[in-house]
Amino acid sequence: MSIQIVVPEMGESIVEATVAAWLKQEGDHVAAGEAVVELETEKVNLEVVAERAGVLARIERKAGEDVKIGDVLGVIDESAQDGSSAPARPEATPASAAAPPSSGAMPAEGIAKTLSEKELRPAPEKTGRAISDRAGHGQETGPNVMRMGSKPATPLAKRVAEEQGIDLAQVPAKGPGGRVTKEDVESYLQGQQPGQEDALPAPAPEIVTAAPAPPIERPGREERVRMSRRRQTIARRLLEATQTTAMLTTFNEVNMSAVMDIRRRRKDSFKEQHGVSLGFMSFFVKATVGALKAFPRLNAEIQGDEIVLKRYYDIGIAVGATEGLVVPVLRDADRLAFAEIERAIKAFVQKSETNSFSLEELRGGTFTITNGGVFGSLLSTPILNPPQVGILGLHKIEDRPIARNGEVVIAPMMYVALSYDHRIVDGREAVLFLVRVKELIEDPESLLLEG
């Protein structure tokens, strides 16, 4: 009995995938529940398992092909017990093998029969005499002479005259025996007599147009790589974000001295107690939630002609993975403690390295935080992650001179950027939102008051 391997349901809004790799080959034995093929979606990679044991009899869709839910990927032969009993695909028979081998040379009489009567007819004998000219004068003039009217002409002169439409009777003959030569025709064309070549005007310079140079081949210096489905999705969504939103960005800078002081004093005890390091992201998650509570339109989305205000705070954390950016979501971030946030972010990073996210971890989100500072970015403009209307961009911390109490001091400063959808978020709200984030980070104790 044959069992089809089909593309399963892959989660909300995912209807297509790409065959990433076959984990089994035709003829391989497959156990029930064993992964057979890996599918690449716009969010995660999924493994399709065999429902029953058998032998992979046939692969219908090869690696790199796009498939949809319900498409048949392959067939498992349940009756086969090992790879040796798997039905083999018929091999194409070469044409040379189908034809019987030649038993020897074809007889001479057989060859003669294959030739037509016309092919066997002897060719007419060639003569050394020239045929009379087109004017109908059939006088034989010798092998190199043709006549027009009563004036003999060489074949080359006749051909030039015909090409130029000249009556040879009008051309003075200066050749031997009164024959018109090619030179006579050319002289007649230029209105000169033979012997006056020195008076001819200098020919116009020939204009030579250089042909376009062929493209330079550079073997090994270019490479074409097929875009992964995730990269295609990232490209499509980023383009949609710039085309379907009224995106603006506002900037500010944050003094990180207070946060860095807390981390310096508490990092050892925090790690000993919770088993995870105290980072900067947990502070910014808490500060973002506090600012979203103060300015709820940054935690909303547009649906038709309505604004959907969300009273929950699912914060997306952008993570740069090898296959492309992913944004796993911290559910109900307002209810999480610092340690819970740090553990969740650490798990996100680990899963990005192994590409082991679940669809639930990547679905939804009401606001996003992206940290380009881990890669050394000083300042950037983050792009919205629709349907969200706000995204906070963090950057690297750098010592810079600032004014404090009338004095110039050196402080660890960070530029922050907020991109927002101006359709529902006004500039005033966006600026005040970013100022609120700045205030909460520069006074971390106030984060306790935000709950």
| CA–CA distance, 260 with 173 (Å, rounded to integer) | 109
pLDDT of 201 > 90? The answer is no
Average pLDDT value over all residues in the chain: 80
What is the value of pTM for the model shown?
A: 0.60
Predicted local confidence at residue 279, as pLDDT? 93
Among this protein's residues, is 426 annotated catalytic?
yes
| Strands 151-153 vs 247-255: parallel, antiparallel or unpaired | unpaired
Residue range(s) of every CATH 3.30.559.10 domain in the chain: 244-449
Catalytically annotated residue among 66, 261, 332, 426: 426
Query: Pick from 232, 212, 287, 274: which is nearest to 446 by CA?
Result: 287
CB 297 within 8 A of CB 307: yes
pLDDT at 199: 45
Fold annotation for 244-449: Chloramphenicol Acetyltransferase (3.30.559)
Q: Find the catalytic residue in 261, 332, 422, 443.
A: 422
The DSSP annotation for 429-449 comes to: HHHHHHHHHHHHHHSTTHHHH
What is the bridge-based pairing of β-strands 35-40 and 16-22? antiparallel
Q: What's the rounded Cα separation, in Å, for the pair 233 and 329?
A: 18
pLDDT (tens digit per residue) in 400-420: 999 988 999 999 999 999 999
In this predicted structure, the answer to whether residue 94 has a pLDDT above a threshold of 70 is no
Section 365-393 average pLDDT: 95
Q: Which CATH class is domain 2-82?
A: mainly beta
Sole residue written with tokens 């067939």: 75
pLDDT score at 32: 86
Does 386 score more than 60 pLDDT?
A: yes
Give the pLDDT confidence score for residue 220 in this predicted structure. 77
Segment of 48-62, 100-114, 231-245, 331-345 carrying the highest mean pLDDT: 331-345
- Are 412 and 256 in contact by the 8 Å Cβ rule? The answer is yes
User: How far is residue 232's CA from residue 42's CA, in Å, rounded to a whole number?
Assistant: 8
In the chain, list all ranges with CATH 2.40.50.100: 2-82
- Both tokens of residue 221? 């210096």
Residue 382 scores a pLDDT above 70: yes
Condensed to tens digits (0 to 9), the pLDDT of residues 418-437 reads 999 999 999 999 999 999 99
Distance CA 448, CA 375 (A): 30
What gap in Å lies between CA 77 and CA 378, rounded to an integer? 58
Specify the range with the lowest mean pLDDT, choosing from 33-47, 355-369, 426-440: 33-47
Higher model confidence: residue 82 or residue 270?
270
Model confidence over 138-151: pLDDT tens digits? 344 444 444 444 56
Give me the pLDDT at residue 324, please. 76
Q: Is 290:450 a contact under the CB 8 Å cutoff?
A: yes
